[in-house]
Chain A
Amino acid sequence: MNMFLMIIFTLSAFLAVGGALSVAFAKNLIHACVYLLFSLIGVAGLYLTLGAEFVAATQLVVYVGGVVVLLLFAIMLTGGSNLHHVTSRFGLESTPLMGNLRTYIMGIVTALLLIAVLCNVLQGSISASAVVESKFSSTVEQIGVKLVTDHILAFEISSVLLLGALVGAAIIARPYRSSETEN
């Protein structure tokens, strides 16, 4: 049990971390998107190890099946990776719009700062974290009850939000329709 969890965790963690790092440093946007897919799958695996099957499933369905595909579509619609090949002023050929050395230095500095912040913040919670084993039961029913009792308002609002997002996205992304072209 422990061993099985351990293996799943290791795999999932490796997948998530590796995917995330690849997303961060990939030269190609398409590749980055695919790496994100892996990373999300890894996170879903981590959910499984945490006993959140329903969340893991939702993760897979929504992200892997929806968001990433949507992202890929967007990438394709906006010209893919062949946009604006530019050379940085340091003479390095940089991937178009995927950042250059300067931006990465900035990003890494920020990352280090955030690491410091996170270490600072999570110190207490890490030290206080006592492992409380829970009896591992299915969470789907509990989530369903919770959603329609405690979180009914958030549930309804999220449905409206989804509808709004759907309609809004459709309206925003509708093709450039001008009356002149129709006429």
Chain B
Amino acid sequence: MEYSISTILPIMLLPFFAFVLNAFIVKKFTKTAVAISCVAIFIPFIMAMRIFIDFVFNKYSSDYYIHKTFTWFDLSAGAQIFKVQMGIYLDNMSAVMLLMVTGVAFLIHLFSTYYMHDDPRYGRFFVYLSLFTSAMLGLVLSDNLFSVFIFWELMGFCSYSLIGFYYEKEGAGNASLKAFMTTRVGDVFFLLGIVALWTTIGSVSYVEIYKAIAESSLSSPVILFGLGIPLATFAGFCIFMGTIGKSAQFPLQVWLPDAMFGPTPCSALIHAATMVAAGVYLSLRMYPLMDAGGLLEFIAYIGGITALGAATIALVQTDIKAVLAYSTISQLGYMVLGIGVGAYSASLMHLITHAVFKACLFLSAGSVIHALHDHHTHAPVQEMPRMGGLRKKLPYTFIAMLFCTLAISGIPLFSAFVSKDRILGDALVMAAHSPIYIVPAILGFCGAFLTPFYMFRMIFLTFYGEPRDQELYKHAHDEHFSYNRNLPLLILAVFTLGFWYSGSLTGQGIVKVFPESKYEWFQVLVEKPVLNKFLGRTATPLEVSESKEFIEHSHYDPNHGIASEEEAHHVHLIHRFGAAASFLIALCGILLAYSMYITRKFSPEWWTTTFAQWTKALKNRYYFDHLYIDILIQKLLHPFNNLLAWIDMGFYDRYAVDGWERVLALSYSVARWFDNIVIDSVLVDGSGISVRFFNIVLRTIQNGKIQFYFLVLLFVLASYVLAFKPVI
């Protein structure tokens, strides 16, 4: 099947039309609106499935891509070409992402029909969901950074409105503002990067950027604060800042835990599966740019720090959703670490697997929360200390959540073992290759130890042991299987199994799906972009032959300098070691959790009292909120704000505005004087007076007295004769 814009674009347009339609009918026909939303995500799911199958089984070379463009608007004037092209860029990565987004979004839609059913704003939730899904699919399909940015902001808006969905709840409004503003910091950088690329390349299309990287035309320096920075570094950094904001990486991670104020399905969709992953997706797309800019080490450090730091904070959280939120940040850190160590396909794979199991975890948490209802405060209960022993009451939820927890812990046969451990393995390879990667690798392995610990802590606290709040437990609803509550959970849980993503146990290509390839399908499908294929696309043959020389000098190196067979074997060994190590570490983490929360050999209280300082720091989330709000905003921005306000009020307002007003008043009085004297008196009255004057004169002349006429006649005649002396 030959794809064209009209066959691909409905994937994103259907949810958008659903959004537009629902926005109008949602008040009166809530159920119809919900049904429309669900159908409008199910049809794209089918289409994405078709595209995916097409890509996997027919054209499974990583070179294949579809690039269709159309001109959005054309402001060209003469030789000055200013054309904004929009288009669709569909390759294997997009196909995988499309399938993941549509599938997860559909299941979350389905779950929402259960979870949000009794909410007074049931319909509005689906309106937002449709808009969000449309924006996410648009982002995946985009072929240029500009439309990516548009959808990026659209998603940011949806996130904002969904975090503040329960706006009656105290803190929800602040949380939505915080999320919006924090991501905004990254977005500004992102926009800056887009502009930087635009000014150099003249286009922000992926293809053009790849081409420019292949031609090494991005190494021209940008002068910034007196320092010459290569453009690729500058633009790559700016775009990665966008990722940091959106994917809640190390300095800007503060918004994601607060985003849990939103409804749980929205947390599952936006703040776990898709939107936060969009930042990683963008970084993957721009991987050649970041590699060319030499940013990979930086990215690896950011990812490692995030992975470990968020995991440590998750240790002390008591809110079930907060644990999941920090777990999300940590896993996103792994993806970013994967980008940093060049584990391109593993990073995307972890994105997919994480989207599946984290969506499932959130939905399970939603199911738990929904089951527990505090009859005193009439609020759902999210605190883990009040749970416990829910295994019997919520069997399906328990199974789904257990599967996901095993997956995220990196247990063999489950998905994260394939993806996360490949990231860790690649990190080890890079650490062996260059010492600068040793620290991110260690950070990653420490995080890999903590991940199963806090996840199983959550499981044990929630489902095992004796119920700590008997009244709550008594009132908890027993779970009966329902298609819209448990089916999504179980489907997602099934997809946490590893064989969907890899034919082998470790994901290192031991069991080959495609015999002719040395890798498995995911690695076959998703490879680091080979930029040579973009070279001859639009250029003339002459330029191709010229540009081939440049490729050798290109900074972009997909193989990371590991080229020879011997080294590849070496890599293989390290991979195996990494897999074994991470499995052992995961087991240690699980055992520690088991001994602490089930057998109670180690008391958690002992840890919290012994490391009181650390616990305090962790409970305060490493004081980042304190840093941002109390120091950065209160101490720094507030005085600056006051200064600006003072300048504004005292200077601009007083002198510029009021001064201008005075100038205006003066000119007004001048104008009034002019008006009164010149216009009114001289011109208007003057014309009247002159008319009257001439009236008098003419009336005197035109008096009807014949003798007077005669006199005038004579005088005129006489004066004429005397003046000109006509010759007779």
Chain A residues within CB distance 8 Å of chain B: 106, 110, 113-114, 116-117, 120-121, 124-125
A120 to B724, CA, bound (A): 11
| B contacts with A: majority SS | helix
A116 to B711, CA, bound (A): 16
| A contacts with B: majority SS | helix
Q: Report if B715 contacts A (CB, 8 A).
A: yes
A residues in contact with B728, CB < 8 Å: 121, 124-125
- A103 nearest in chain B by CB position: B707
Would you call B711 and A110 a contact (CB within 8 A)? yes
Instruction: Return A39 CB to nearest CB of chain B, in Å.
Output: 21
The list of the 3 closest CB pairs from A to B, nearest first, reads: A117-B718, A113-B718, A117-B721
Q: Report if B725 contacts A (CB, 8 A).
A: yes
A residues in contact with B717, CB < 8 Å: 117
A120 to B728, CA, bound (A): 10
Q: Report if B698 contacts A (CB, 8 A).
A: no
Q: Report if B714 contacts A (CB, 8 A).
A: yes
- Besides A117-B717, A120-B721, A121-B728, 7 new A-B residue pairs in contact (Cβ under 8 A), listed by A number: A113-B718, A116-B718, A117-B718, A120-B722, A120-B725, A121-B721, A124-B728
Q: Contact mask B686-721 → A, CB, 8 Å, 1/0?
A: 000000000000000000000000010011011001
B residues in contact with A110, CB < 8 Å: 711, 714-715
A125 to B728, CA, bound (A): 8
- A122 nearest in chain B by CB position: B728
Instruction: Return A44 CB to nearest CB of chain B, in Å.
Output: 27
Q: Report if B224 contacts A (CB, 8 A).
A: no
B residues in contact with A117, CB < 8 Å: 717-718, 721-722
Instruction: Return A117 CB to nearest CB of chain B, in Å.
Output: 5
A28 to B721, CA, bound (A): 35
A8 to B381, CA, bound (A): 151
Q: Report if B79 contacts A (CB, 8 A).
A: no
A105 to B56, CA, bound (A): 126
B residues in contact with A120, CB < 8 Å: 721-722, 725
- B725 nearest in chain A by CB position: A120
Residue in contact with B715 in the complex, picked from A113, A121, A124, CB distance below 8 Å: A113
A residues in contact with B542, CB < 8 Å: none
Instruction: Return A110 CB to nearest CB of chain B, in Å.
Output: 6
Q: Contact mask B283-327 → A, CB, 8 Å, 1/0?
A: 000000000000000000000000000000000000000000000
Would you call B714 and A113 a contact (CB within 8 A)? yes
B residues in contact with A125, CB < 8 Å: 728
Chain B residues within CB distance 8 Å of chain A: 711, 714-715, 717-718, 721-722, 725-728
Instruction: Return A99 CB to nearest CB of chain B, in Å.
Output: 10
A117 to B715, CA, bound (A): 10
A residues in contact with B718, CB < 8 Å: 113-114, 116-117
Instruction: Return A163 CB to nearest CB of chain B, in Å.
Output: 27
A121 to B725, CA, bound (A): 7
A120 to B725, CA, bound (A): 7
Given A106-B711, A110-B711, A110-B714: A116 in contact with B722 (beta carbons within 8 A): yes
A110 to B718, CA, bound (A): 9
A174 to B715, CA, bound (A): 37
- B720 nearest in chain A by CB position: A117
A residues in contact with B722, CB < 8 Å: 116-117, 120
Instruction: Return A112 CB to nearest CB of chain B, in Å.
Output: 10
A136 to B408, CA, bound (A): 153
Instruction: Return B710 CB to nearest CB of chain A, in Å.
Output: 9
B residues in contact with A124, CB < 8 Å: 727-728
A113 to B726, CA, bound (A): 17
A114 to B717, CA, bound (A): 9
Instruction: Return B705 CB to nearest CB of chain A, in Å.
Output: 11
B residues in contact with A116, CB < 8 Å: 718, 722
A residues in contact with B715, CB < 8 Å: 110, 113
A106 to B712, CA, bound (A): 12
A residues in contact with B714, CB < 8 Å: 110, 113-114
A125 to B722, CA, bound (A): 16
B residues in contact with A113, CB < 8 Å: 714-715, 718
A106 to B721, CA, bound (A): 20
- B721 nearest in chain A by CB position: A117
Instruction: Return A114 CB to nearest CB of chain B, in Å.
Output: 7
- A99 nearest in chain B by CB position: B707
A114 to B711, CA, bound (A): 11
A104 to B570, CA, bound (A): 141
Instruction: Return A143 CB to nearest CB of chain B, in Å.
Output: 26
A residues in contact with B721, CB < 8 Å: 117, 120-121
Instruction: Return B449 CB to nearest CB of chain A, in Å.
Output: 131
- A116 nearest in chain B by CB position: B722
Instruction: Return A126 CB to nearest CB of chain B, in Å.
Output: 11
Instruction: Return A121 CB to nearest CB of chain B, in Å.
Output: 6
Instruction: Return B715 CB to nearest CB of chain A, in Å.
Output: 7
Instruction: Return A144 CB to nearest CB of chain B, in Å.
Output: 31
A120 to B722, CA, bound (A): 7
A110 to B725, CA, bound (A): 18
A106 to B717, CA, bound (A): 16
Instruction: Return B507 CB to nearest CB of chain A, in Å.
Output: 128
B residues in contact with A106, CB < 8 Å: 711
Interface centre among A106, A117, A125 (most CB of B within 10 A): A117
- 14 example contacts (A-B, Cβ-Cβ < 8 A) are as follows A106-B711, A113-B714, A113-B715, A113-B718, A114-B714, A114-B718, A116-B722, A117-B717, A117-B721, A120-B725, A121-B721, A121-B726, A124-B728, A125-B728
B residues in contact with A121, CB < 8 Å: 721, 726, 728
A residues in contact with B725, CB < 8 Å: 120
A residues in contact with B727, CB < 8 Å: 124
- A110 nearest in chain B by CB position: B714
A70 to B571, CA, bound (A): 148
Instruction: Return B700 CB to nearest CB of chain A, in Å.
Output: 15
Instruction: Return A122 CB to nearest CB of chain B, in Å.
Output: 8
A124 to B714, CA, bound (A): 21
A121 to B714, CA, bound (A): 14
Instruction: Return A127 CB to nearest CB of chain B, in Å.
Output: 11
Instruction: Return A124 CB to nearest CB of chain B, in Å.
Output: 6
- B717 nearest in chain A by CB position: A117
A residues in contact with B726, CB < 8 Å: 121
- A118 nearest in chain B by CB position: B721
- B728 nearest in chain A by CB position: A124
A117 to B716, CA, bound (A): 11
A28 to B295, CA, bound (A): 129
Instruction: Return A128 CB to nearest CB of chain B, in Å.
Output: 9
A79 to B722, CA, bound (A): 42
Instruction: Return A15 CB to nearest CB of chain B, in Å.
Output: 27
B residues in contact with A114, CB < 8 Å: 714, 718
Instruction: Return B727 CB to nearest CB of chain A, in Å.
Output: 7
Instruction: Return B511 CB to nearest CB of chain A, in Å.
Output: 135
Instruction: Return B717 CB to nearest CB of chain A, in Å.
Output: 7
Instruction: Return A82 CB to nearest CB of chain B, in Å.
Output: 23
Interface centre among B711, B715, B727, B728 (most CB of A within 10 A): B728
A106 to B715, CA, bound (A): 12
Instruction: Return A172 CB to nearest CB of chain B, in Å.
Output: 18
Interface centre among B717, B718, B725, B726 (most CB of A within 10 A): B718
- A111 nearest in chain B by CB position: B714
